[in-house]
């Protein structure tokens, strides 16, 4: 797998950092990470897609990865809707790509496909896109009480690496390193995504209504679900039934980060949408 080029991609009024693989003449692919994650988690998937001639761009959304310093707009539509607007600008420069999003990124790319069907050739929802936080928590405050990230309390990077290796023994070292890239490499470590931005995203997810978007998605859609996984069986089945052209692919007992655990299978499925 060749190393990606680090580029800036136009996203409306701002420029986001992205990782780019040139590929060849096949349809381009845009890859979108989840909440408090980063574009590097897609490296192994992207390398396999590029080997099949797909130009690939994996983007760091505002506040994440190398786009940590990209500002949020004052009085904007909220992080989930703003991320979808940003991705519309990225897609316009790629030429109707296949778009994949994981977890919260799945909700973001679902919004993109519903709002701008002219920009998305195919959609892959990777253990996300059907996340309805309001079904579980009546307010953003209630959701934050459960979903707020833990404090690292002086944790060293090496200690965290050991924990991750123990938790994900079937992940590659590249996937472990990519996960660690969610943090500034300080001792003790600290997240690249600030706590305030994290809370704002959770609030926007409580306000987000994916089921209202399903009928508006016109492209072929794959739902890659780590069952029981994020949201449980009922929400996955609801999305698969409501999306006009959808196929559910199950990964029973898999990790939420399917792209890190099963990059070969995930890459093959995304490539099949082209």
Residue 187 has what pLDDT?
Answer: 67
Q: Calculate the alpha carbon distances from 33 to 65, 126, 155, 260 in Å.
A: 10, 10, 24, 11
Asked whether 157 and 189 are in contact (CB, 8 A), the reply is: yes
Fill in the DSSP letter of residue 14: E
Quick check: 255 and 226 in contact, CB under 8 A? yes
**Distance of alpha carbon 259 from alpha carbon 102, whole angstroms:** 8
Tell me 161's DSSP state.
H
Q: Are 124 and 245 in contact (CB under 8 A)?
A: no
Cβ–Cβ < 8 Å for 67, 86: no
Q: Residue 3 has what pLDDT? A: 87
Q: Strand pairing of 122-126 and 29-32?
A: unpaired
- Where residue 220 sits, what CATH number does that domain have? 3.40.50.1820
**How far, in whole angstroms, is CA 255 from its chain's centroid?**
14
Token pair recorded at residue 140: 């953003």
Q: Which domain holds residue 150?
A: 5-271
Distances (CA, A) of 204 to 20, 98, 208: 28, 25, 6
d(CA 49, CA 228): 27
**Among candidate residues 46, 15, 79, the one with its CA nearest the CA of residue 178:** 46
Long-range CB contacts (< 8 A, 24+ apart) of 71-76? Answer: 71/14, 72/197, 72/200, 73/13
Comparing C-alpha atoms, which of 256, 267, 127, 80 is closest to residue 179?
Answer: 256
Q: How many domains does the chain have?
A: 1
pLDDT in the model for residue 227: 79
- CB distance 30 to 98 below 8 Å: yes
Q: Is the pTM of this model over 0.95?
A: yes
At residue 165, the pLDDT reads 96
* Average pLDDT, 10 consecutive residues per value, the chain (274 residues): 90 96 95 98 98 98 97 93 98 95 98 98 98 96 96 84 95 96 83 96 98 98 85 88 97 95 98 96
Task: Enter the tokens of residue 233.
Answer: 């069986």
């Amino acid at each position: 797998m060749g190393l990606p080029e680090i580029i800036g991609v136009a996203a409306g009024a701002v420029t986001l950092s992205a990782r780019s693989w040139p590929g060849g003449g096949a349809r381009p692919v845009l890859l979108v990470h989840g909440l408090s994650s980063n574009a590097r988690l897609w490296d192994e998937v992207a390398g396999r897609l590029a080997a099949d001639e797909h130009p690939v761009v994996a983007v760091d959304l505002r506040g994440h990865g190398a786009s940590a310093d990209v500002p949020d707009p004052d009085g904007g539509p909220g992080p989930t809707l703003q991320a979808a607007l940003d991705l519309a600008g990225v897609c316009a420069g790629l030429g109707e790509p296949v778009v994949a999003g994981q977890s919260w990124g799945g909700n973001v790319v679902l919004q993109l496909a519903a709002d701008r069907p002219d920009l998305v050739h195919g959609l892959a929802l990777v253990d996300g896109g059907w996340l309805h936080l309001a079904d579980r928590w009546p307010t953003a405050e209630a959701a934050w009480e459960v979903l707020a990230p833990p404090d690292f309390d002086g944790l060293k990077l090496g200690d965290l690496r050991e924990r991750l290796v123990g938790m994900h023994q079937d992940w590659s070292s590249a996937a472990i390193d990519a996960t660690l890239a969610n943090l500034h490499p300080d001792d003790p470590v600290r997240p690249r995504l600030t706590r305030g931005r994290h809370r704002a995203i959770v609030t926007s997810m409580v306000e987000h209504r994916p089921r209202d978007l399903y009928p508006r998605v016109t492209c072929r859609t794959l739902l890659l679900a780590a069952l029981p996984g994020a949201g449980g069986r009922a929400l996955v089945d609801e999305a698969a039934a409501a999306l006009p052209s959808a196929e559910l692919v199950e990964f029973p007992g898999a990790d939420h980060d399917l792209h890190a655990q099963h990059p070969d299978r995930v890459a093959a499925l995304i490539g099949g949408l082209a």
